[in-house]
Amino acid sequence: MKYYKSGKPNIANKEKKYVLQVLDSGDLSLGPVHKKFEQKFAKLIGVKYAVSVSSGTAGLHLAMIAAGIKRGDEVITTPFSFIASANCILYVGAKPVFVDIDPDTYNINTALIEKAITKKTKAILVVHIFGQSCDMDPIKKIAKKYKLKIVEDACESLLASYCGQKVGTFGESAVFAFYPNKQITTGEGGMIVTNSKKYYDLFCSLRNQGRTSDMGWLDHKCLGYNYRMDELSAAVGLAQLERIKYLISERKKNARRYNKYLSGYGDILKLPVTAKDNMHTWFVYTIQILKIGTSRDLLIKKLAKQGIQAKPYLPSIHLFDFYRKKFGFKKGDFPVSEKVSRRSLSLPFYIGLVESDIKYICQKLIKLIKQ
């Protein structure tokens, strides 16, 4: 029986070659490769500066610091995300204020943002979920009206665009992540992008224990962190960037294949929806189970017995125990997010799946749902 993982990276000979070159150089940290990776990434996104970091989470933490978010402030964001997008707000002592999501794109519902704003609101942390941009025009208008900063969590949405503009270029800073199931990978790792020289200098200092480029080895200007990206990770990222067109096109191809084999079953499941003005770059392929009486979690177990690893993407952050205890959240607070969380299911999605694989996965899925 074949086994289909939920996701895995696509590593070619170029990645191996670049890693070996770094190993042979002896410069495993603070060498030239992460700088080259940053320069190429900034050019890809269309921004002036990019700063590599050890993870997307680390990047979000630094983005909050740069935005001036402090204890007692509030930041509007979405409950339907990986927990890091809310935790980074807590790292600086601020409070995440959740706004429910759009039932089709799963991004923040822009019609609900304005009534969540208070005198303590300082920023909107938008999360471009699953490879698709948020509806940015109304968000920009709201931010301008209330003098709020926009920070983009673009960790899942490399090269996604909205009305022809790439994610990562709407806010004062944006963060991308390179976990093994992302559009490109560095193993662990992330990248902050910005057009601000002030932010760039601050990010470079904060990621490196508070040192600046003109300081001595053991001299420190401010409280910083060890959030650097090592040279081996950067070498993998550099090779992945050079293959980015192929990596994205293959993900789009697999999404089209899933759509082909699942499009006739709208009565029992809901397929991903791409907004009219968006270009989707497919972090995961997530469906919703609509058939009444079907247990999503039991379905996941039955698929596993067929060699198909599916995952419940994503739980709603406000219902995690820690958030319930800290903020008093309860079921029903954000009903759309909770409904999607209960019914959502991500199918195996990675480069290497061929059409016959996807057809097989879809046939097994439909059969199990109908049973």
Asked if residue 197 has pLDDT above 80, the reply is yes
Number of domains in the chain: 2
Alpha-carbon distance 97 to 86, whole Å?
A: 9
Q: Three-class SS of residue 48?
A: coil
**Does residue 143 sit in the same domain as residue 178?**
yes
**Does residue 205 sit in the same domain as residue 260?**
no
Please tell me the predicted confidence (pLDDT) of residue 66: 98
Asked if residue 198 has pLDDT above 80, the reply is yes
Domain that holds residue 112: 13-241
Specify if 5 maps to a domain: no
What are the tens digits of pLDDT across the range 25-36?
A: 999 999 999 999
Final residue belonging to a domain, choices 211, 241, 271: 241
Alpha-carbon distance 240 to 16, whole Å?
A: 11
Alpha-carbon distance 55 to 175, whole Å?
A: 9
List Cβ neighbours of 221 (8 Å cut-off, separation of 6 or more): 205, 210, 211, 212, 215
Closest CA relative to residue 136, chosen from 122, 150, 121: 150
C-beta of residue 151 within 8 angstroms of C-beta of residue 168: no
**Does residue 150 sit in the same domain as residue 215?**
yes
How wide is the angle at C-alpha 97 spanned by C-alphas 154 and 127, nearest 5°? 10
Neighbours of 194 (CB within 10 A): 24
Query: Which of the four pLDDT bands, split at 50, 70 and 90, describes residue 57?
Result: very high
Final residue belonging to a domain, choices 221, 241, 261: 241
What are the tens digits of pLDDT across the range 122-132?
A: 999 999 999 99
Whether the pTM exceeds 0.95: the reply is: yes
**Does residue 145 sit in the same domain as residue 208?**
yes
Q: What is the CATH number of the domain that holds 288?
A: 3.90.1150.10
**Does residue 135 sit in the same domain as residue 276?**
no
Q: What is the CATH number of the domain that holds 96?
A: 3.40.640.10
What are the tens digits of pLDDT across the range 254-299?
A: 999 999 999 999 999 999 999 999 999 999 999 999 999 999 999 9
Final residue belonging to a domain, choices 241, 268, 296: 241
Strand order in the sheet with 278-279: 165-166, 161-162, 278-279
**Does residue 127 sit in the same domain as residue 227?**
yes
Helix (H), strand (E) at residue 346: strand 344-347
**Does residue 276 sit in the same domain as residue 324?**
yes
**Does residue 314 sit in the same domain as residue 357?**
yes
Structure tokens at 286: 């997530």
